[in-house]
């Protein structure tokens, strides 16, 4: 169990101790300077280059891009939301502004119609007309505050092609069977209110990243497998939910065929939707995107890129990388391999990827909540 998880059990102390935990978890430094980030330790396929796009972004988590080009970044331990601005268009951040602070685990950010939506455990907040107010940000509007305050309460959020806001509700435990948890919901928002809520997928332990296929508009998501079944069991998952109402196995079945020892009795894994790709055990897959740009070679087009945050309870660490899952024309996985590796050196990790975002020029941004930076990946040819 990491320090923040331990401290967060004591909610009355959380606001006092969480910032201290954040500093300790990041090696005593609230952020990183570009000169201190050992990019030379990272390995990428031939022809690719990685640079620091923005530095000193403590606990940088999920990302969203505004219509005017502002990069918005949530955090977890820092309790802040950042706006990152490239004023001169040289593909390197000029300013990192704090546009909200004092929030509880504001991990997820989503941009729609000029407004920024932020998840804060129980609440979905909105910062109106934010790109014109970066230096004088508005007070957040509360869209809803009805989500549970339980374990896995931090949330990735994103608007789907249907205009609804998709929000996960993680399992309130490592492994348990509780109604109304372990699912993905979608919210129809009109004005300042949620007018309708639907459950899109069930049996999802804890997804902290999802996206939609650029051609089919089907939902794809990562899922973090349960702990305490050993180093190599169960796998984490990449899944797709093209329609509502599917069940993905938790807490009864993990991966394609691992029945849970506590909840799997009398169940069959064939009754649930199997993952498109089993990922490494305990790699903690978070952000996921299809590569939709034109800068990378053709074989990367519409393939899946995943930020693997890295294991915390394995005797030998694994993850701490960005991987790619290659799909065929029918959406079946044909390979799963590292795309960027090297944040883990032996058993010591100096960085932890969280999210990926494809920019209009085809570059790929990667957030790192341990180093406190945003990277920019380009193809040089």
What does each of the 381 residues of the chain score in pLDDT, given as a tens digit? 343 333 333 333 333 333 333 333 333 334 567 668 999 999 999 999 999 999 999 999 999 999 999 999 999 999 999 999 999 999 999 999 999 999 999 999 999 999 999 999 999 999 999 999 999 999 999 999 999 999 999 999 999 999 999 999 999 999 999 999 999 999 999 999 999 999 999 999 999 999 999 999 999 999 999 999 999 999 999 999 999 999 999 999 999 999 999 999 999 999 999 999 999 999 999 999 999 999 999 999 999 999 999 999 999 999 999 999 999 999 999 999 999 999 999 999 999 999 999 999 999 999 999 999 999 999 998
Q: Tell whether 2 and 65 lie within a shared domain.
A: no
Q: Tell whether 4 and 121 lie within a shared domain.
A: no
Q: Tell whether 11 and 47 lie within a shared domain.
A: no
Q: Tell whether 99 and 166 lie within a shared domain.
A: yes
Q: Tell whether 21 and 89 lie within a shared domain.
A: no
Q: What is the pLDDT of residue 84?
A: 98
Q: Tell whether 250 and 321 lie within a shared domain.
A: yes
Q: Tell whether 132 and 100 lie within a shared domain.
A: yes
- Per the structure, the complete domain to which residue 22 belongs is given by 1-30
Count of structural domains within the chain: 2
Q: What is the pLDDT of residue 26?
A: 35
229: its two tokens: 């079944």
Q: Tell whether 11 and 69 lie within a shared domain.
A: no
Q: What is the pLDDT of residue 28?
A: 33
**Sole residue written with tokens 């967060």:** 8
Q: Tell whether 261 and 114 lie within a shared domain.
A: yes
What are 141's strand-pairing partners? 126
CATH number of the structural domain spanning residue 113: 2.120.10.30
172: its two tokens: 């309130």
CA dist 240 and 230 (Å) reads 26
Q: Tell whether 286 and 347 lie within a shared domain.
A: yes
Q: Tell whether 21 and 42 lie within a shared domain.
A: no
CA dist 366 and 108 (Å) reads 15
297: its two tokens: 């070679």
Q: Tell whether 192 and 341 lie within a shared domain.
A: yes
133: its two tokens: 């107010």
């Amino acid at each position: 169990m990491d320090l923040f998880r331990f401290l967060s059990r004591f909610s009355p102390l959380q606001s006092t101790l969480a910032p201290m935990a954040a500093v300790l978890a990041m090696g005593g430094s609230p952020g990183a300077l570009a000169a201190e980030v050992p990019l030379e330790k990272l390995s990428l396929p031939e022809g690719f280059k990685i640079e620091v796009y923005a530095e000193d972004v403590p606990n940088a988590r999920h990302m969203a891009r505004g219509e005017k080009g502002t990069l918005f970044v949530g955090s977890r331990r820092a309790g802040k939301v950042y706006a990152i601005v490239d004023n001169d268009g040289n593909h390197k951040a000029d300013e990192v502004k704090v546009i909200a602070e004092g929030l509880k685990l504001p991990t997820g950010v989503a941009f729609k119609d000029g407004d920024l939506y932020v998840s804060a455990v129980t609440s979905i907040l909105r910062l109106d007309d934010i790109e014109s107010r970066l230096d004088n940000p508005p007070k957040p509007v509360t869209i809803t505050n009805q989500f549970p305050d339980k374990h896995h309460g931090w949330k990735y959020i994103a608007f789907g092609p249907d205009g609804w806001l998709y929000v996960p509700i993680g399992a309130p435990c490592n492994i348990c069977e509780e109604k109304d948890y372990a699912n993905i919901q979608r919210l129809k928002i009109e004005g300042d209110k949620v007018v309708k809520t639907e459950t899109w997928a069930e049996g999802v332990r804890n997804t902290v990243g999802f996206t939609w296929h650029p051609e089919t508009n089907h939902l794809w998501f990562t899922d973090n497998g349960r702990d305490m079944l050993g180093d190599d069991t169960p796998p984490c998952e990449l899944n797709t939910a093209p329609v509502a109402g599917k069940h993905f196995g938790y807490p009864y079945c993990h991966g394609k065929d691992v029945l849970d020892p506590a909840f799997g009795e009398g169940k069959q894994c064939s009754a649930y939707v199997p993952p498109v790709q089993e990922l490494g055990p305990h790699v903690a897959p978070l952000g996921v995107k299809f590569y939709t740009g034109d800068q990378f070679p053709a074989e990367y087009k519409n393939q899946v890129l995943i930020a693997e945050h890295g294991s915390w309870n394995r005797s030998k660490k694994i993850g701490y990388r960005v991987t790619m899952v290659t799909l065929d024309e029918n959406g079946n996985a044909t390979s799963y391999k590292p795309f960027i590796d090297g944040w883990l050196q032996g058993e010591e990790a100096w960085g932890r990827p969280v999210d990926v975002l494809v920019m209009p020029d085809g570059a790929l941004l990667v957030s790192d909540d341990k180093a406190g930076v945003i990277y920019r990946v380009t193809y040089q040819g």
